[in-house]
């Protein structure tokens, strides 16, 4: 890990996070606050762009590590972590590790929801 790699991820992450924020604001204004349209939009768009980017990176950009760090880990990781989750799941599936992919998906969703509830209850217990 080099300082350049960390900076590429940090700068990309800042860009992605700001984009996520702006999409959330825009979706809320355009479609209303009754459904998390912004979150759903960044998750779907981010996953689509991750698919496009990873394939282009492999086929056209010779797997450039700095470009992968900046775009996939930085920008798309800051925009939505679901894009990384989606990529990890499909990579496992394409490698033939279907059961591992299923455990990863189920475990990630269930454990993440449980962790959020635990955090809420922990704060509420001491508030």
Of 78, 79, 77, the C-alpha closest to 88 is 77
pLDDT 10s digits, 83-112: 888 989 999 999 999 999 999 999 999 998
pLDDT over threshold 90, residue 10? yes
The continuous run of DSSP H or E covering 21 comes out as helix 3-31
Name every residue whose Cβ is closer than 8 Å to that of residue 109 and which is 6 or more positions away in sequence.
none
> Can you read off the two tokens belonging to residue 19?
């984009």
pTM beyond 0.85: no
> Can you read off the two tokens belonging to residue 14?
């800042």
Average pLDDT of the chain is: 92
What residue segments make up the domains of the chain, in order of their start?
3-80
Crossing angle for the helix pair 37-59 and 81-94, to the nearest 10 degrees: 50
* Block residue for tokens 């800051």: 78
Percentage of the residues of the chain whose pLDDT score is greater than 90: 69
Averaged pLDDT for residues 13-20 = 97
- Report the pLDDT value the prediction gives residue 84, as an integer from 0 to 100: 82
Question: Alpha-carbon dihedral of residues 58, 62, 68, 72, nearest 10 degrees?
Answer: -20
């Amino acid at each position: 890990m080099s300082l350049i790699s960390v900076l590429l991820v940090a700068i990309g992450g800042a860009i992605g996070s700001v984009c996520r924020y702006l999409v959330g604001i825009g979706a809320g204004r355009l479609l209303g606050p009754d459904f998390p349209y912004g979150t759903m939009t960044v998750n779907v768009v981010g996953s689509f762009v991750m698919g496009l980017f990873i394939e282009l990176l492999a086929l056209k950009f010779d797997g450039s590590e700095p470009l992968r760090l900046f775009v996939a880990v930085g920008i798309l990781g800051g925009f939505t972590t679901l894009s990384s989750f989606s990529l990890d799941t499909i990579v496992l599936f394409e490698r033939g590790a279907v059961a591992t992919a299923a455990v990863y998906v189920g475990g990630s969703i269930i454990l993440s929801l449980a962790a959020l509830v635990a955090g809420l209850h922990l704060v509420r217990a001491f508030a």
